[in-house]
Amino acid sequence: MTERMEASAEIAKPIRLDPRFRREIMAIHGGETLKICFQCGTCTSSCPIARFSRSYRPRQIIQMTQLGMKSKVLSSETLWLCAACFTCTDRCPQGVEVASVLRVLRNLAVKEGFVPAVYRELASNILGTGYAYKITALQLRKREEFGLPPLPKANIGDIAKLAQSTDFSKLIETRGVSSA
Amino acid sequence: MPNRKYLFFLGCVIPYRVPSYEVSARKICEKLGIELVETPEFNCCGLPLDPISHDMAMALAVRNLCLAEQKGLQIMTLCNGCAGTLRKVNKELKENKGLREKINGYLKEIGMEFKGTTEAKHFIQVLAEDIGFERIKEIVQKPFKNFKVAEHYGCHLLRPSREVAFDNPENPKVLKTLIEVTGAKCLDYIDETQCCGATIIGVNSEIPLQLTREKLSHIKEAGAQTLITICPSCHLMFDTNQPRIERKIGEKFDLPVLHYPQLLALAAGISPDNLALKEHKTDASNILLFC
């Protein structure tokens, strides 16, 4: 009896919904097609990641977003498992840009302060050098041995200005995206 | 034969981890009369930042496209990620006026403006569309005999298909045709177009290694003696990580992995010593028996 009561108490726990969430997503470039998803599941059944993950299900994330489960969606670690292979987008019979909706969600998650460490490093490298990875002296010597021309040197000043105008700098400052 | 001239976009992964791809692609370009113009001012294509800031990622991509517009040349890149990003953003901005105005607003700060006058292409596209199979056939002096290979396209050359608009994403043929020009036989296998998982390896290594393991098994079962890739990130999964996967599952694949230009170069009679084959983790020495 006690066990049953406990179980029902758990089921009755209310979920906080934000009815404005779906509109918020649909107003962002890439999120427009969220509303036309009819939950057929073609995305999840086509998803290479879902085959090997117990938790990542694109159909489910889309449904939770439609329902307004904002905090649950944005704080979810599985949001970051999308490999952006775009198979879901290509196969969706409704024309939902599933991968783009997921990207919109990840971008919003960052604004809420959720960001995997690897992206802090990539952001720091790109702002510091213009490229995603730091090339070592050894790698540069190897290039010479192979007779390859010198590497391009990005215009860091331009990148800093773009980071300013796109508000990326602000995102870094407020959310600690960069470890630099 | 008109001289083909492109701005060479190297990207991040190739200089960092996969110089063998660049070495062999440059050899092929030289052989086919493809002129590569070095552009010192390029930056990252933007793809790595897309999950955290689409606006910043697009701004980085468009800055590269603007440089190409200023020089009046098309971009050629070896990486699927760079090609996919630059093609996708280029098409979106050409078609979507509102988006174009928004991004041009960002670019104003650096004195640039996207006009929509250039194209970005993957190396494989340049070979298939601009050079042509017939011309490539002409450089094959030592066609492979009894050599069975498999291909892995990688996602971003094919998808999202509306934006990247190349080949058929469900049943792609271009790379197979390019492989068969060398005399090698290109085999079919299960889930050929499936992703290798490389893009999320920084977040979760388990899933990409399992995806790659499954593909390696299918490729071996089909009887392929070598795998051909055309993307540095896919190459890292199938070649660099192959020993790691083998240790993990206690099974040997021993499957050499070549970049397409290495395969073509061997068939074109270019010495294997000049193709940086020793940079690979997998052993390519047996391939030379089929030359």
| Domain-terminating residue out of B123, B146, B172 | B123
Q: Grade residue B286 by pLDDT with cuts at 50, 70 and 90.
A: confident
Interchain pair A151, B63: CB under 8 A: no
Q: Is residue B20 domain-resident?
A: yes
Mean pLDDT confidence for B42-56? 98
Q: Grade residue A1 by pLDDT with cuts at 50, 70 and 90.
A: very low
Helix (H, G, I), strand (E, B) or coil at B151: strand
Nearest to B16 among A80, A133, A164 (CB): A133
| Domain-terminating residue out of B123, B143, B163 | B123
Q: Is residue B254 domain-resident?
A: yes
SS (H, E, C) B22-49: HHHHHHHHHHHCEEEEECCCCCCCCHHH
Q: Is residue B252 domain-resident?
A: yes
Using alpha carbons, select from B249, B240, B237, B239 the residue that is nearest to residue B212: B237
Residues on chain B touching A108 (C-beta within 8 angstroms): none
Q: Clarify whether residues B91 and B225 are in a common domain.
A: no
Nearest to B54 among A30, A86, A143 (CB): A30
Whichever domain contains B92, its CATH number is: 1.20.1050.140
Q: Clarify whether residues B88 and B162 are in a common domain.
A: no
Longest distance between any two alpha carbons in chain B, whole Å: 58
- Tell me the residues of chain A between 124 and 163 that have a Cβ less than 8 Å away from chain B: 126, 130-133, 135, 139, 142-143, 146, 148-149, 151-155, 158-159, 161-163
Angle at A33 between CA A29 and CA A36, to 5 degrees: 165
Residues on chain A touching B63 (C-beta within 8 angstroms): 158, 162
Q: Grade residue A57 by pLDDT with cuts at 50, 70 and 90.
A: very high
**Would you state the torsion angle of the CA atoms of residues A99, A103, A105, A108, taken in this order, to the nearest 10 degrees?**
-170
Which chain A residue's Cα is nearest to B157? Answer: A85
Instruction: Give the integer Cα–Cα distance in Å for B76 and B92.
Output: 19
B269, B142 Cβ separation under 8 angstroms? yes
pTM: 0.95
- What is the reported pLDDT for B198? 98
Interchain pair B155, A131: CB under 8 A: no
Please say if the pLDDT value at position B39 is more than 70: yes
CA distances from A129 to A123, A135, B69, B211 (A): 10, 10, 23, 32
Q: Clarify whether residues B105 and B141 are in a common domain.
A: no
Start-end of H helices in chain B: 13-17, 19-32, 54-71, 80-95, 97-107, 123-125, 133-139, 161-164, 174-180, 206-221, 232-235, 242-249, 260-267
Whichever domain contains B152, its CATH number is: 3.40.50.11810
For residue B23, what are its two tokens?
């070495």
Burial class (CB in 10 A: 0-12, 13-18, 19+), B240: middle
B166, B202 Cβ separation under 8 angstroms? no
Interchain pair A48, B38: CB under 8 A: no
Instruction: Give the integer Cα–Cα distance in Å for B164 and B62.
Output: 16
Helix (H, G, I), strand (E, B) or coil at B77: strand
Which chain B residue's Cα is nearest to A124? Answer: B49
Instruction: Give the integer Cα–Cα distance in Å for A114 and A116.
Output: 7
- What is the reported pLDDT for A179? 41
Q: Clarify whether residues B104 and B71 are in a common domain.
A: yes
Q: Clarify whether residues B112 and B139 are in a common domain.
A: no
Q: What is the pLDDT of residues A76-128, one digit of tens each?
A: 999 999 999 999 999 999 999 999 999 999 999 999 999 999 999 999 999 99
Q: Grade residue B92 by pLDDT with cuts at 50, 70 and 90.
A: very high
Residues on chain A touching B199 (C-beta within 8 angstroms): 83-85
Interchain pair B106, A123: CB under 8 A: no
Please say if the pLDDT value at position B192 is more than 60: yes
Q: Clarify whether residues B168 and B276 are in a common domain.
A: yes
Which chain A residue's Cα is nearest to B191? Answer: A48
Q: Is residue B272 domain-resident?
A: yes
Q: Clarify whether residues B210 and B108 are in a common domain.
A: no
**CA torsion sign, B176 to B44 to A124 to A80?**
negative
Using alpha carbons, select from B90, B267, B257 the residue that is nearest to residue B166: B90
Q: What is the pLDDT of residues B65-81, one digit of tens each?
A: 999 999 999 999 999 99
Instruction: Give the integer Cα–Cα distance in Å for A56 and B204.
Output: 12
Q: Clarify whether residues B232 and B117 are in a common domain.
A: no
User: Facing residues of B7 across strands?
Assistant: B37, B75
Q: Clarify whether residues B94 and B11 are in a common domain.
A: yes
Residues on chain B touching A122 (C-beta within 8 angstroms): 48-49, 202
Interchain pair B52, A110: CB under 8 A: yes
Residue B102 φ then ψ, to 5°: -60, -50
Identify the H or E element spanning B122.
strand B120-122
Using alpha carbons, select from B74, B82, B88, B81 the residue that is nearest to residue B34: B74
Q: Is residue B159 domain-resident?
A: yes
Residues on chain B touching A171 (C-beta within 8 angstroms): 52-53
Residues on chain B touching A52 (C-beta within 8 angstroms): 206-207, 210-211
SS (H, E, C) B212-243: HHHHHHHHHHCCCCEEEECCHHHHHHHHHCHH
Q: Is residue B11 domain-resident?
A: yes
Domain count, chain B: 2
Helix axes A156-165, A117-129, angle to 10 degrees: 130
- Report the relative pairing of strands B226-229 and B148-152 from DSSP bridges: parallel
- What is the reported pLDDT for A22? 97
Q: What is the pLDDT of residues B161-189, one digit of tens each?
A: 999 999 999 999 999 999 999 999 999 99
A126, B48 Cβ separation under 8 angstroms? yes
Q: Clarify whether residues B194 and B157 are in a common domain.
A: yes
Q: Clarify whether residues B79 and B142 are in a common domain.
A: no
Instruction: Give the integer Cα–Cα distance in Å for A39 and B186.
Output: 38
Q: Grade residue A4 by pLDDT with cuts at 50, 70 and 90.
A: low
Residues on chain B touching A78 (C-beta within 8 angstroms): none
Q: Is residue B128 domain-resident?
A: no
- Look up the domain containing B57 and give its range: 4-123
The DSSP line for B59-74 is HHHHHHHHHHHHHT-E
B74, B39 Cβ separation under 8 angstroms? no
- What is the reported pLDDT for A174? 79
Q: Clarify whether residues B140 and B108 are in a common domain.
A: no
Nearest to A135 among B15, B54, B195 (CB): B15
Q: Which domains can be identified in chain A, with CATH numbers? A: 15-111 (1.10.1060.10), 117-175 (no CATH)
| Domain-terminating residue out of B65, B99, B123 | B123
Q: Is residue B244 domain-resident?
A: yes
Q: What is the pLDDT of residues A126-150, one digit of tens each?
A: 999 999 999 999 999 999 999 999 9
Interchain pair A162, B51: CB under 8 A: no
